[in-house]
Amino acid sequence: MNPTSASAPVSAAPPAGSPAQNLRNAPADSTIWRQIGGVLRLELKKTFLSKRGWWIYFLALGPVGVTTLHWLVEARRGAGAGRHSIGEDSVIFAGIFLFYYLRAGIFFGAMGIFSNLFRGEMLEKTLHYYFLTPLRREWLVAGKYLAGLIVAAVLFGTSVALAFLTIGRHFGASWTDYLVHGPGLHQLGAYVLVTVLACVGYGAVFLVCGLLYKNPMIPAAVVWVWENLNPFLPSMLKKVSVIFYLKSLCPVEVPIPPPFNVMVVDADPTPFWIAVPGLLALSLILLIYAAATARTTEINYGE
C-alpha cells in the first residue's frame, strides 16, 4: 500500500492568513514560476528554522571548528623546525572533504533536509494544506526541492569554504600567496562546486525516499553502504554511484594507506564534461519520478 494513501479526516481548509491559504487564493492561471516561487519562499523559512534539523548545523560546522582549532594551535606554536607544509595541509583538507563531507556530512545532511520535505509535513499533518490549493504537485515538488537545495548548498558550501580558508591560515602571507597566486582559489572553487553537486544528487535521491518510504532511514542506510563500498567495487559497478563522479571532480587526490590500497580497484576518473552533466541528468530523472509520484499521492495521517 502506498504509505500516503488516504484514510484519516483532514481539515477542509488552511488556517486563515497562512502561506498555504495565500496560495489557495492565488489566481488559477498563476504562472509556473510564481507557483514555484511561492512554495520556495515558504519552504525556505520552514527548512532553515526547522526544529528537527538542528543536528544538520552541527554536521556542517564541525569541520570548521576543527580547522579553526588547527589554525589557532599552529599559530601559537609559530614557525619552527618540523613544521608541516602548505601542501600537506592541502592533502589533509582533501581527506577531510572526501571522507567526512562527501561520505558523511553532506550525505546525512541531505537525508535530513530532503527526506523531511514531504515526510515532515506528514508527521506534522500539514501536507493537505498544500494539496487543497490550486497548485500543481509537480511545481510543489520543484519548489520544495529548490528550497532544500538552497539550504543544503548554503550550509555545506559555506562550511567547506570556511574550513578550506582556515586550515592554512597560520601560514600567514604564504597562505595568502597560495590562494591568490597559486592553486588555492582553483581548489576552493572545485570543492564548492563538488559540494553543490553532492547536494543536487543526494537531494534528489532523498526527496524520492521521503515520498516513497515511511521510514527513509532504511533506504538511506542501503545507499550509504553502497557509496562507501565504491573504492572496492569492480570498475563497472563503481560508475553506478554518486561518489564516483564527485571524487573525479576533486582537485587533490587523497593517497590511500596500506593495507586498504591493495583492495582498492583502480578506475579511470570521469572527465568533467561527463561527470557534471551525468549527475545533473540523474538528478533530473529522479525529480521527474518524484513529481510523477506526487501526482498520485494521497494523504494518510492515520498510519
For 31-44, what is each residue's pLDDT tens digit?
Answer: 788 888 888 888 88
Q: Which residue has the higher pLDDT, 300 or 282?
A: 282
- Cα 246 to Cα 136: distance, rounded to the nearest angstrom: 33
- Cα 17 to Cα 141: distance, rounded to the nearest angstrom: 23
- Cα 219 to Cα 213: distance, rounded to the nearest angstrom: 8
Q: At what angle do helices 106-114 and 217-228 cross, to 10 degrees?
A: 160
The pairs formed by 287-291 with CB atoms below 8 angstroms and a separation of 24 or more are 287/141, 287/142, 287/145, 287/204, 287/207, 289/208, 290/141, 290/145, 290/204, 290/207, 290/208, 290/211, 291/137, 291/138, 291/141, 291/142
pLDDT at 278: 86
115-144 pLDDT, tens digit per residue, is: 988 887 877 777 778 877 778 888 899 999
pLDDT at 81: 43
Residue 5 in contact with residue 298, Cβ under 8 Å?
A: yes
243-287 pLDDT, tens digit per residue, is: 888 988 999 887 766 655 445 555 667 788 888 998 999 899 999
pLDDT at 28: 43
Report which of 200, 216, 210 is spatially closest to residue 284, judged by C-alpha positions.
200
Report which of 227, 242, 225, 228 is spatially closest to residue 283, judged by C-alpha positions.
242
Quickly state the pLDDT bin for 5 (edges 50, 70, 90): very low
- Backbone φ and ψ for 258, nearest 5 degrees, come out as -70, 150
Checking if the pLDDT of 206 tops 90, the result is yes
pLDDT at 238: 78
Checking if the pLDDT of 182 tops 50, the result is yes
- Cα 22 to Cα 15: distance, rounded to the nearest angstrom: 10
As a whole-number percent, the residues of the chain with pLDDT over 70 amount to 83
51-74 pLDDT, tens digit per residue, is: 777 889 999 999 999 999 999 988
pLDDT at 179: 94
- Cα 292 to Cα 141: distance, rounded to the nearest angstrom: 10
pLDDT at 295: 85
pLDDT at 241: 81
Is 0.85 topped by the overall pTM?
A: no
Comparing 63-67, 92-96, 238-242, 279-283, which segment has the lowest mean pLDDT?
Answer: 238-242
Residue 117 in contact with residue 294, Cβ under 8 Å?
A: no
Checking if the pLDDT of 14 tops 60, the result is no
pLDDT at 123: 74
Q: What is the mean pLDDT of residues 15-40?
A: 63
pLDDT at 1: 40
The mean predicted confidence, pLDDT, of the chain is: 82
